[in-house]
Amino acid sequence: MLSKNQKFKWSWLFYLAVLILAFIFPALNPGSYYIQVVSLAFIYAIAVYGLNLIEGYMGQLSLAQAGLFGFGAYAAALLTMKLQLSFWLAVPLASVLTAVVAFFIGLISFRTRGHYFVIFTLCIGVIINLVIQKWDAVTGGMNGLIGIPKPTPLGPISFDSLKAQYYLILVFLLLTVFVMYRLVNSLIGRTFVSIRNSEELAAALGINVMKNKILAFCVAAFFTGMAGSLYAAFIRFIGPDISSPTLTFEFLLYLLAGGQASIAGPIVGTLLMSGLTESLQFLRDYRLLLFGPLLILIVKFLPMGIVGLIHKLASRSPFRRSAAKSLNPSKTVKGEGL
């Protein structure tokens, strides 16, 4: 049986190994294509962390995430192209604007519950997508926005190269993971979980359910909008497809594959499923036909995702338990780790 100090050591050794691998990845000369694929996966992972907060920890399945992702992307693009703001001002401002939009959406949507909430948020996502398509004077309509500026230099540090942009996105991802880890392990995070487990019991204990739901939705939207902002600056071209409901279901697939209500789940699922997506480019028109049954299989046989499976296997031996702790450092959510 491993001691508490040994488990702590294994946990941080795991995180250190993953962090080192992420930092040395461009130095391995994998090629610009693979660097771009991983960079996009990191951006999507940030959005999936937002979905994980509202769905995994709060228990509210929002299908408006792609709409909020697209809103953040267009907001950042317009701020840099029309108002000539720098990247470092446009990204946080676009993220805040996305959270503000989510606040007003939440005021209405959280008056519904269950599948009514899911349908309502799906409608919101579709409406945002339609506005982007039809508002030609602002969004460019179906032509989108072209020539979005690259991230502006930060002092002597330039982000003109693909590798520099990779590291920039990695820093934003690490910041997202850190904030999410601190949040879900705080009193606020435990409040979210208590509402997910039983709204009636949480209300009986004096918790303001509506207020906390809106808070979780706004925080999730903030990171989703930030991911959209990074996407716009990285790709430098955006169109209505980035707000399509299809992207929401891809985010959901990434989350379910990795493991909801976990810190490692979003990044694990996003990297694995993004790699699978890229390997199936020759089936581009039929990928949804494959992802549909795959999603059903994941829900049926891996309800807690890959991270949940690792945690289950890890409980069978002291060594494996320490490995699971590295992926799931807490047991505050239904016995699973965070």
In this structure, what token pair is assigned to residue 92? 């946080």
Domain positions in the chain: 12-327
What is the dihedral angle through the alpha carbons of 222, 228, 230, 233, rounded to the nearest 10 degrees? -140
Q: Give the pTM.
A: 0.88
Predicted local distance difference test score (pLDDT) of residue 332: 44
Burial status of residue 178 (CB atoms within 10 A of its CB: 0-12, 13-18, 19 or more):
exposed
Residue 155 is given by DSSP the state T
Listed as own residue / partner, the contacts of 2-8 with beta carbons closer than 8 Å and 24 or more positions apart are 2/318, 2/319, 2/321, 2/322, 6/322, 7/321, 7/322, 7/325
User: Could you read off the pLDDT of 236-266 as tens digits, one per residue?
Assistant: 999 999 999 989 989 999 999 999 998 989 9
Q: 338 falls in which pLDDT band (50, 70, 90)? A: very low
DSSP 80-92: HHTS---HHHHHH
- What confidence tens digit (pLDDT) does each residue in 11-62 have? 567 678 778 889 999 988 788 999 999 999 999 999 999 999 999 999 999 9
CATH class of 12-327: mainly alpha
Burial class (CB within 10 angstroms; exposed 0-12, middle 13-18, buried 19+) of 229: buried
Q: Which residues pair with 82 in a beta bridge?
A: none
pLDDT, tens digit, 9 for 90 and up, residues 199-246: 999 999 999 999 999 999 999 999 999 999 999 999 999 999 999 998
